[in-house]
Structure 1
Amino acid sequence: MKTIGIIGGMGPLATVHLYERIVFRTKASKDQEHIHVLIDSNTNIPDRTKAILGQGLDPTVELLKSAKNLESIGADFLIMPCNTAHYFIDEVSKDISIPFINMLDETVKYTYNKYGKDTVVGILATDGTIKSKIYEDYYSKVGIKTVIPQKNQDRIMKFIYDVIKRGNFELGTDIFFEVVNELKELGANAFLLGCTELSSAQYLFKFEGDYINPMEVLAEKSIIFAGGILN
């Protein structure tokens, strides 16, 4: 099987959950039937949202450092559990010689196949992902309509940074569902967890419904690409 290289640290909890999902979703009866996974949890990568908004350092230097590191120690392809960082994926990909699975592209394909062209996707994501319109652009290519929070974007940022990134899980999910309800009012019938902290939140709080979880999509795609068998 191929060796997976994970550019992690964005954040560390999301990196842990992606690796966990790869392990849980791989059909294996012994250690040797699992996939070889290399992880560079590079917490030196600057904040992606701040960079996109012109308020922070360019993360591509550290992203490329991790990519080259993983390539040099034997990764056959790369994945990255950070939606916002995919804004920089083309810049990183051009300087490496191994494939880079695009989580956003795979998520849009998954959405189209599961929900169809006529669904309306409500995007829950960081300010950087929202401002860059990266998911809107990907979805528009397949004709899927998207909506974003108009009143409560600050609430989803608070949930991502204050609850998940800071580990204040006792604060719960109330502010998250405030944003979901707004997106429902705007016509959404499926909800994109467009930040890997939100993917982690689904694993931690075990909420169910029409949520599109890019980290789950990426784990499944990575297993198949590596030559593993899905559990």
Structure 2
Amino acid sequence: MPHLIQRRNSPSLGLLGQRKPLGVVGGMGSLATAKFLEVLARKSRVETDQDHIPFICLSAPNIPDRSQAISIGSDAPLLQILERAYWLEKAGCGAIAIPCNTAHLWAKEIKQALSVQLIDMVEITRQAIRDSRGSEAHNFRSISLGTRASMQNGLYVTPNENALGEQFFRSLTKLEREAIKIIADVKSGNITDAQENFTRLVHAARSFAPDKIILACSELSAICGDLGDDSDIVDPINILADACIDWWIAGSHTFGEVGGLDTSAFFREL
């Protein structure tokens, strides 16, 4: 037993000389984080445990509601997101992923504050949408479904949303209200109702014949089921997982001189 304690406290457990893991700022919300980690594991398509992407996920969920904070001009969630990202940096992570769409309304500030890469879910999703348009870019029409902040602040705005027509904009408030209710149900564990209402919401969105429907909240990704495989659905959680895998494959991310991690101080401050 003393030998095991000595090994546990040894700096050699700081993963010296190994590739830097992915850092995941989770807890926004917890089910959405779990969904992202599941998708990451499934998409990795490796043969052994040892071949999977190493990650450190910090899911401390007591971050203020992002959408509500943005509506009142508060940056309280940003400060707590950065606190967690800094902790992951100190732990030796080589890049940070945040599987929360609304949090990316602060993506610019987060990137400026970090010394490692933020794998920007919104940026790469926008690029994937642009790539999918091809020569039909000028006719492309999309609908975003998510939190009030993501929908009202144009998180995934496309140039020709106006092409959806006046009827769509008259119905936008209802779509937003239904999306917010579904997200609340997911967060509270009312999954059955959330999934049924989500199916109806997608059907309502499809009545406007958009080219793509963007799941602009990771709670919607968490419960989308087989609908997420439909060609007109854009799931940023899937795109983020792909980008994290590309990041891992692309480079050699090695540790510097780091020792064992002392997490106690961080959790005392939460």
Number of paired residues?
A: 220
Q: Matched residues in 2 for 1:70 and 1:78: separation?
A: 8
Match of 2:115, as an amino acid? S
Offset, 1:113: 2.0
Please provide the CA RMSD for this pair: 2.0
Q: In the alignment, what sits opposite 2:221?
A: 199
Residue aligning to 1:125: 146
Q: CA deviation at 1:24?
A: 1.1
Cross-structure match for 1:153? 176
Choose which of 173, 180, 189 in structure 2 pairs with 1:167.
189
Instruction: Find out whether 1:184 has 2:202 as its counterpart.
Output: no
Unaligned residue ranges in structure 2 (runs of 5+) = 1-18, 251-270
The equivalences for 1:208-219 within 5 A come to 208-209=229-230, 210-219=232-241
Aligned-pair CA distance for 1:134: 2.3
Match of 1:59 in 2: 77
Query: In 2, are the aligned partners of 1:52 and 1:132 still within 8 Å (CA)?
Result: no
Higher mean Cα deviation, 53-62 or 210-219? 53-62
Asked whether the 8 Å contact 1:13–1:200 carries over to 2, the reply is yes
Give the secondary structure class of the aligned counterpart of 2:204.
helix
Shift of 1:57: 6.3
Q: Is 1:69 aligned to residue 110 of structure 2?
A: no
The equivalent residue for 1:50 is 68
User: 1:107–1:214: 8 Å Cα contact kept in structure 2?
Assistant: yes
User: Quick one: distance in 2 between partners of 1:156 and 1:45?
Assistant: 21
Q: Deviations over 1:136-193 (max 9, x none)?
A: 1xx34xxx5476724331111111112x111112225343234333333334131101
Cα-to-partner distance string for 1:41-63 (whole Å, 9 max, x where unaligned): 12121110001111866201110
Hey, what does 2:258 align to over in structure 1? none
Residue in structure 2 matched with residue 25 of structure 1 by the alignment: 43
Q: Say whether the 8 Å CA contact 1:2–1:226 is kept in structure 2.
A: no
2:247 is aligned to: 225
Distance in 2 (CA, whole Å) between partners of 1:169 and 1:91 is: 33
Match of 2:24 in 1: 6
Stretches of structure 1 lacking an aligned partner (at least 5 in a row): none
Amino acid at match of 2:179: I
In 1, Cα distance between the equivalents of 2:133 and 2:22?
Answer: 29
Q: From the superposition, tell whether residues 112 and 50 of structure 1 become closer, same or farther in structure 2 (CA, over 3 Å).
A: same
Look at both structures and tell me which one has the larger radius of gyration over its CA atoms.
2
Contact conserved, 1:127 with 1:153, CA < 8 A, in 2?
A: yes
SS in 2 for 1:151: helix
Q: Secondary structure at the match of 2:76?
A: coil
Contact 1:193 1:199 in 2 (8 A): yes
Q: Which amino acid aligns with 2:219?
A: E
Q: Which amino acid aligns with 2:110?
A: V
Cα distance in 2 for residues equivalent to 1:32 and 1:184: 42
- The secondary structure found in structure 1 opposite 2:214 is strand
Which residue type is aligned with residue 141 of structure 2? Answer: V
Does 2:131 correspond to 1:113?
A: yes
Paired with 2:194 and 2:35, the residues of 1 have a C-alpha distance of 19
- Whichever residue aligns with residue 77 of structure 1, its letter is A
Higher fraction of helix: 2
Q: 2-11 or 65-74, which moves further after superposition?
A: 2-11
